[in-house]
């Protein structure tokens, strides 16, 4: 008997819109319209509008009164901020992992690693597993509930990562994941910390290269000029 898990219409719209933005299915700069989205999703403007407001608070969309709503361009500053935040949190969490971590949580991580090998070529699935792996590491230290905050802050980082998917083979990341886990479970705290920092920064470095190739998707500075009808996506 959960309190309010009600599968409300707003929740469905929010989840779907967020997924499409993060997957770049709705590309940075794309114009959104409450009316169009409502019609396409078969709901009224209300749940669509409320979802857009939530996404705008996360920084994933920008709403301009009486002008329009747009998917945010990837902001390099926000990417860097998210990188700093996640690195601070994940490294600090490693220090709080007990010497005898929860066996179930460890088993989940090992299984996740195995699945990563299988999904090495499926980018979408690999990203999902990658997220779960990092979340699982926080769980080892009992900090799993901090993950949602990190997730909410790193939307720009995630989009940049997807853009840079071809830069580094997923095999490299999988090996780094395994190395971090091994060092951690062997009690080599300092090594685990160093490995994790290297892993996170490698991801970050890829983004710089991507930016040179696809400058249109990035917002160079605070010039938030809305471009009407740049792209018509969705269905």
Query: Does residue number 69 form part of the binding site for DNA (CB under 7 A)?
Result: yes
Q: Which does 23 bind (CB under 5 to 8 A by kind): DNA, a second copy, none?
A: none
3-class SS of residue 207: helix
3-class SS of residue 68: strand
Query: Does residue number 65 form part of the binding site for DNA (CB under 7 A)?
Result: yes
Nearer to a second copy, 71 or 119 (CB): 71
- Contact residue for DNA among 49, 86, 159, 161 (CB under 7 A): 49
Query: Does residue number 99 form part of the binding site for a second copy (CB under 8 A)?
Result: no
Query: Minimum distance between the CB of residue 80 and a second copy, rounded to whole angstroms?
Result: 9
Nearer to a second copy, 92 or 165 (CB): 92
Contacts of 88 (CB under 8 A, 6+ apart): none
In the shown chain, the binding pattern of residues 2 to 31 toward DNA, with x for contact by CB under 7 A and - for none, equals ----x-xxx---------------------
What is the b/e burial string over 65-83, where b = at least 16 CB atoms within 10 angstroms of the residue's CB? eeebbbbbbbbbebbeebb
Contacts of 105 (CB under 8 A, 6+ apart): 136, 139, 140
Q: Angle CA(83)–CA(151)–CA(75) in degrees, nearest 5?
A: 50
Cβ neighbour number for residue 147 with a 10 Å cutoff: 21
Residue 188, Ramachandran bin (φ over 0: left; ψ between -120 and 50: alpha; else beta): beta
Residues 167-226 that bind a second copy (CB under 8 A): 224
Binding site for DNA (CB under 7 A): 6, 8-10, 32-36, 43-47, 49-50, 52-53, 63-69, 226, 228
Binding site for a second copy (CB under 8 A): 3-4, 6, 8, 50, 53-54, 57, 62-65, 77-78, 81, 84-85, 87-89, 91-93, 96, 143, 145-146, 149, 152-153, 224
């Amino acid at each position: 008997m959960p309190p309010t898990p009600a599968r409300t219409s707003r929740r469905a719209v929010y989840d779907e819109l967020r997924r499409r933005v993060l997957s770049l299915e709705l590309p940075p700069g794309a114009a959104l319209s409450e009316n169009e989205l409502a019609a396409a999703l078969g709901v009224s403007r209300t749940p669509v509008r409320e979802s857009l407001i939530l996404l705008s608070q996360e920084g994933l969309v920008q709403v301009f009164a009486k002008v329009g709503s747009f998917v945010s361009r990837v902001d390099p500053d926000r990417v860097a901020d998210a990188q700093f935040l996640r690195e601070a949190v994940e490294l600090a969490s490693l220090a709080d992992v007990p010497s005898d971590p929860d066996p179930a949580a460890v088993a989940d991580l090992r299984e996740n690693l195995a699945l990563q090998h299988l999904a090495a070529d499926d980018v979408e699935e690999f990203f999902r597993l990658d997220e779960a792996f990092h979340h699982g590491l926080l769980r080892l230290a009992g900090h799993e509930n901090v993950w949602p905050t990190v997730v909410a802050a790193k939307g720009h980082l995630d989009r940049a990562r997807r853009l840079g998917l071809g830069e580094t083979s997923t095999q490299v990341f999988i090996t780094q994941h395994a190395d971090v886990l091994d060092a951690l479970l062997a009690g080599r705290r300092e090594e685990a910390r160093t490995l994790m920092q290297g892993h996170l920064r490698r991801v970050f470095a890829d983004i710089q290269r991507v930016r040179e190739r696809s400058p249109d998707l990035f917002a160079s500075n605070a010039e938030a000029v809305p471009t009407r009808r740049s792209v018509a996506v969705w269905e």
